[in-house]
Amino acid sequence: MWDITRRLYPGHPVWPGDTPFTYELTWKMAEGASVNVGKIEGTTHLGTHLDAPYHYDPAGERLEAISLSVLVGPCRVVDARGQAALDEPFLRTLDDLPERVLFYTGQPGRWKTFPETFTHVTPAAAAYLASRGVKLFGTDCPSVDPLDSKTLEAHHAFRRGQIYILEGLALEGVQPGTYELICLPLALEGADASPVRAILR
């Protein structure tokens, strides 16, 4: 198995202005408690996470409406390093795409700071993936749109194509090829997103 989930730690970089991640013990055996109990706080878009359509569409599905069948099954890891953007011409070079496709663009497996530049996706590329029957798009980048995007054109293009978005994967060191993806979000009712534990087998 290959764990493709970013490890979470206090100070883990988050989208500029979003809720920082913290973990602390509220009950401590060292201070006389019978058990250690921790408290976590942070954005739903922390590290490796799954976007629900509600994140960018007020009428979109909430997290619990996403079928687990989309999140488990055959997938392909594609080496997309060197691409300024994932565009349709590049995608047309790929054969035999399964319903789940993950793109390694060269992001490191551990972020020391939040990346300000990364490989975004063009709306035409999202539409092309939908035409190929893709249901889940994964990237090692923090978003499918550029950091300064206000219109989120790629997000909306994936929405039109009924493709779910998995962001922030840790794909460094994973060889391109075919795997089984197991990607499970927390069961957060009504949520816009959730951190996930994602593995390849």
Active site (catalytic) residues: 55
Residue 62 CA to residue 88 CA, distance in Å, equals: 29
- Which residues neighbour 30 within 8 Å (Cβ) at sequence distance 6 or greater? none
Tokens of 142: 């923090």
Residue 18 CA to residue 111 CA, distance in Å, equals: 16
Coil, helix or strand at residue 173: coil
Residue 164 CA to residue 100 CA, distance in Å, equals: 9
156 is in an annotated binding site: no
49 is in an annotated binding site: yes
116 is in an annotated binding site: no
Query: Which residue, among 20, 15, 45, 12, has the nearest Cα to 196 in the 3D structure?
Result: 45
Residue type (1 letter), 166: L
φ, ψ at 118 (rounded to 5°): -160, 170
Read off the DSSP letter of residue 56. Answer: T
Task: Give the residue ranges of the annotated binding site for Zn(2+).
Answer: 45, 49, 51, 155, 167
